[in-house]
Amino acid sequence: MGERIASLCLLSAVALSAAACSSSSKAPEENPNTFPANYKDEILLTMTNSLEDPTNVRDAYITEPILRRAGNDERYVVCVRSDSRNANKHYTGSKDRIAYFYAGRLNQLVEATKDQCANAAYKPFPELEKLCQAKKCM
């Protein structure tokens, strides 16, 4: 009988510790609409890596982050307008891009459709125009 009680106690202790581990391993849920505090820096880094020629970007503009419907959800978005050069060092014309943020971090930066940034309140983005003048581009 003593062995049976000891086995039950051991089994109970193992079950309790397993339950404690499983309940504490849940990560806190991220807020998908956390304000993107470093949005400019993240956009600059992404554009450095995605533009064919990130030097001598001209006519650069950006908007403040705003919550906007993206599919079935709302997300912070930022519109960016600039004229950059291709690999042959020729300017390609002004393009609008839209940046989508999730949990305060840049998730996607793509060319915007005509409607996505049509009514955007742009302001100058001199950091993009100086992107590769002060630091070495890879």
The whole-number pLDDT of residue 70 equals 85
List phi, psi (to 5°) of 83: -120, 115
What is the model's pTM?
A: 0.76
Q: Which residues of the chain have pLDDT under 50?
A: 4-16, 18, 134-135
User: Are 85 and 97 within 8 A, CB to CB?
Assistant: no
pLDDT per position as a tens digit, 118-132: 999 999 999 999 987
Domain coordinates of the chain in residue numbers? 39-129
| Farthest-apart Cα atoms in the chain, separation | 88
Which pLDDT belongs to residue 44? Answer: 96
- The Cα angle at residue 120 between residues 117 and 125, in degrees rounded to 5: 100
Which pLDDT does position 133 carry in this prediction? 59
